[in-house]
Structure 1
């Protein structure tokens, strides 16, 4: 995964976004999004890349030029984009700015911390939208509490087929994956595809996450500092 801020990839720590700084990686030089993404994708042979646009998450515009550059440089890669959309109007306005190639490569990530209410969740996941069937829902949590003005955590019947289980205080903190929360979501949505996020330290954590029901885990720090070998799939 990569976190974007002002056109650069930054190092995420505990979800404290104001303190993020340009990433330093063993995989590549500098913090250019295309170079960082290319290095990470090549290292683990990834077919999807999660992109968190921090500018958009903090009330700005999605960095469309960066997305277009990623799509052009990495054909065939699917981008899972968290753009901090509060509801369908915001997501539709963004989608209308996309060219056909970029739109075809993007799967929007709806973040529980950003959605304004339950109606917004329903409308974003309704059939007939340009992104229908492709959206993921990120169930965001910090310090044991859901970040969830829309009540997403309480409505599993509305959840899409793919769920990100995001424990923000573990992001970039070397605390290990939050397998208890993953198990909780697994109990409530046994048929969903679960993608964990936060805390992964190395291959042993990947194995534990898979045993707990995660199909994949969003990883940045353990890739940049060399703790995940090229044979690991993140």
Structure 2
């Protein structure tokens, strides 16, 4: 019988290399780990520089109009406008009552103080007005319309600095909406009033009131400097 050629014998010492371990050193030199860490840090630093340069380039390439629009996106407290809410007005304190002219005496219980404050600021100007609806709430249904005193604008010392030609917030049959803004040193530099009028004439706006720092008072837009003051004298 012919003899078969024998297979080569693989001892443990000559075991064939594993596919998974082929080409991978069995151990890593202790000096390789610090070098690898330094190389990785260098790569990350270069990548960060590239990203930062890209962002800076994008910001620098923003058109001037876009930059201006972004700067104006958040309105400042100085430029903001606020609507005066009748619900925020409060009854007059005794000290305020004592400073009003005699023509207000009959209406003091229905008079209200409305602060014109900048957002987050201390009020420096207030509107004093008779709330007609509050006054007539305790009167007969057929009570005649009164000749109410006109609303006053006062400073912190309760000195009159201006006024309105119509009652706020209601002057039969009209309803007034008051907006104030453009503050400087806590004082609204302009006051605007829109009148909702159900009568034939329709809605209209009162002349804007603008602060005159030299005179320490509000003046109606278009009014002559010699125009009579809206502040009561009696």
Give the TM interval when normalised to the shorter protein: under 0.3
Compute the TM-score of the two structures, normalised by the length of structure 2. 0.25
Higher relative CO (Cα under 8 Å, sequence separation at least 6) belongs to 1
Compute the TM-score of the two structures, normalised by the length of structure 1. 0.25
The structure in which a higher percent of residues are helix is: 1
